[in-house]
Amino acid sequence: MTIKKDLLVAWQKKDENEFIHLLTENLDYINTAVCVEGHYFSPLHMAAESGWVESCKFLLAQKAIVDLQYFEFIEEPKGCVSLSEGKLPEGSPAIYCKTALHLAAGNAHKDCVSLLLQHGANPNARDFWGQVPLWKALGNSENEIACVKCLLEDPRTDPNIAEDDYEYGDTPLHDAVRNNYTECVKLLIFADVELTIKNTKENYTAYELANGEMKSVIIQALKERNCQLKSVFIQALEEKNRELKEKRLEINDDPALRMSSRF
């Protein structure tokens, strides 16, 4: 068996310890391409899809390419494929697909998502269909919502990136509304998404796309966000007033300061 086959077997058996052991003994294969049902994954892709945090930590410590996209060949190449520069040689008959962050987010592995972001993974990387990791994370489960929240907490994340014209040209908010992902809709609105963006196929905003119940969710979330913003503003104003009051008391209590304040 070759190391690639050994890695694939360990991955398919969900044996993370053996997976890490094989990589430890074969560090030259950190960024190698392993064929998984027609997809060419790096070990980091395999670990991220499985939610293997320790494997991801090990691979990232060994300089695994964090934003490498797995790929599919349009036609099988001749000879060995090198990924040493993080991409296929120019002219290779292949299409690029998802990054490890796409896979971690799409499989609701929040800890892997967080780890990849900490190591510089691009939250706005597009896959072949123009979708970003935030798109892949959307859903109604607790783990999916946790991934969405984790991505939105990263200041680099742009919540308004629309997919390419693959299907509707939706933004993440359009997709969350379309699929009734209520909590995700709320999180996106609190992340200050742009509500006036229209998708490319239907020319609808997310609000126009929403059914009656979802429209109510959007309106309520907007009200809560506005109340939150108003509360923050009021707190800042009150803090400023407290500082001014303390300054006035300090002046009144000190004759020297009281005299200087007159000039």
**Assigned CATH topology for domain 1-158:** 1.25.40
pLDDT in tens, the chain (263 residues): 588 889 999 999 999 999 999 999 999 889 888 888 778 889 999 999 999 999 999 999 999 999 988 877 655 555 445 454 455 555 555 677 899 999 999 999 999 999 999 999 999 999 888 899 999 999 999 999 999 999 999 999 999 999 886 678 899 999 999 999 999 999 998 888 888 889 988 898 888 888 877 888 888 887 777 765 455 445 655 676 677 667 666 655 555 545 554 44
Question: How big, in percent rounded to 5, are the helix, strand and coil portions of the chain?
Answer: 55, 5, 40
Strand partners, 40: 35, 71
Give residue-wise pLDDT tens across range 98-142: 999 999 999 999 999 999 999 999 999 998 888 999 999 999 999
pLDDT on residue 129: 84
In 3D space, the residue among 112, 96, 111, 170 whose CA is nearest the CA of residue 138 turns out to be: 170
DSSP class of 28:
G
DSSP class of 27:
G
Strand partners, 71: 40, 96
**Domain boundaries of the chain, sorted by first residue:** 1-158
Sequence-separated contacts (24+) of 155-161 with Cβ below 8 Å:
156/122, 156/123, 156/124, 157/123, 157/124, 158/123, 158/124, 158/132, 159/134, 159/188, 159/191, 159/192, 159/193, 160/193, 160/194, 160/197, 161/124, 161/126, 161/132, 161/134
Give residue-wise pLDDT tens across range 29-51: 898 888 887 788 899 999 999 99
